[in-house]
Amino acid sequence: MRYRKIFRILLIATLMLCFPCFSVAEEWTRSDSIKFVQISDVHLHENSKNVRSRMYAYSQELFADAVKQINNIEDVDFVVFTGDMIGYPNESFIEKFIALADTINAPWFWTTGNHDVGGWGLSKSTFVELIDKNTQLKKKKPYYSFIIKDFVFLFMDGAIIKAGTANGFFPEEQLLWLEKQLKTNKDSYVIIFQHFPVVEPFRSKSHCVLNADQYLEILDKYNNVAGIFSGHYHAAKVKIRNNIAHISSPALVEYPNAFRIINVDRVDEYVFISLEFKPVNLKEVRRESFERSASAKLYVGSEEDRDSVIILHKPLNENELPSVWIK
């Protein structure tokens, strides 16, 4: 095992020197790898009609297909839903969502989206109470953390309690918590999940995080954040900012109707993030969504946005170090 690590680092260093941007297809398995699934923007509805390219009428079938695929994937450590689990804040919707999510053969976690809570019906406290009541999660707050295999996972809440807004905002209390988590865990690598990306996949004044600059200032103080996984924009996109991978993922309810399988690993001072794009098997539903969409090309992203291996050189407690993106 030690020789494999040394060989991998030497290989990476050689490729970095000789080919600053290069393409390679590589797979590896390691016993200490973390494998999780990210699903975003399920928008679970009942008895609803499709709206433009959003396949609300098929939301339960789309979700069931994703769950079936996940249950056939080996060694999944957990599943995370990055917001907009339901179509609008409704108690029966979240109970239906929980019932379907509980058929996953792995622990599942969540972050709040603008369709999950708000002026339409559910407060954040009620939303959390409903999940705590019907699951074993017992998180009590809409932001929380856990540690697995030397990685720290943070779940952030950027939802605004206001009907009709799609913007995100992270309150001061939560940003203080975020910074405390990063400082306390400065010797561990951190992965963050949230519905609202602080680095947008594309510009949108109606969807952006209103205090993204304040959030980014905190990230810039620390070198232990490896990746931030988000949804909201319904688009597959990967951006690297200050040695952090900002990974936006597509919607399940809308073309490309897909989710991601992610492997995260560390080798000495390097963090590997492997992305695998998984569309649902409902081909006719995907075709209909594609034909209805005015932004299908934007949402599906490039090949590199869908399937990539990102390698970040991140010696802990050091800043402003280069990152490498292997496509």
pLDDT at 32: 64
Q: End-to-end CA distance of the chain, in Å?
A: 25
DSSP H or E stretch at residue 22: none
214, amino acid identity: Q
Please indicate, yes or no, whether the overall pTM of this predicted structure exceeds 0.95: no
pLDDT at 21: 37
Alpha carbon distance 212, 221 (integer Å): 15
- Phi, psi torsion values for 83, nearest 5 degrees: 85, 165
Which single residue is written with the structure tokens 């490039």?
Answer: 302
Cα separation values, 219 from 194, 213, 223, Å: 14, 10, 8
pLDDT at 22: 32
Alpha carbon distance 197, 230 (integer Å): 5
Task: Map out the domains of the chain as residue ranges.
Answer: 32-326
As beta bridge partners, residue 309 has: 274, 326
Is the dihedral angle over the CA atoms 219, 223, 225, 228 positive or is it negative?
positive
Fold of 32-326: Purple Acid Phosphatase; chain A, domain 2 (3.60.21)
Strand, helix or coil for residue 217 = helix
Please report the beta strands in the chain, taking only residues with DSSP state E, as ranges in sequence order.
Answer: 34-39, 78-82, 108-111, 144-148, 151-155, 189-193, 225-230, 237-241, 244-248, 258-267, 270-279, 308-313, 323-326
Q: Which two tokens stand for residue 302?
A: 């490039």
Task: Answer whether 301's CB lies under 8 Å from 236's CB.
Answer: yes
Residue count (the chain):
327
The Cα diameter of the chain in Å comes to 57
Q: Which segments of the chain have a pLDDT < 50?
A: 1-11, 13-31, 320-327
As beta bridge partners, residue 108 has: 79
pLDDT at 75: 94
- Phi, psi torsion values for 162, nearest 5 degrees: -155, 125
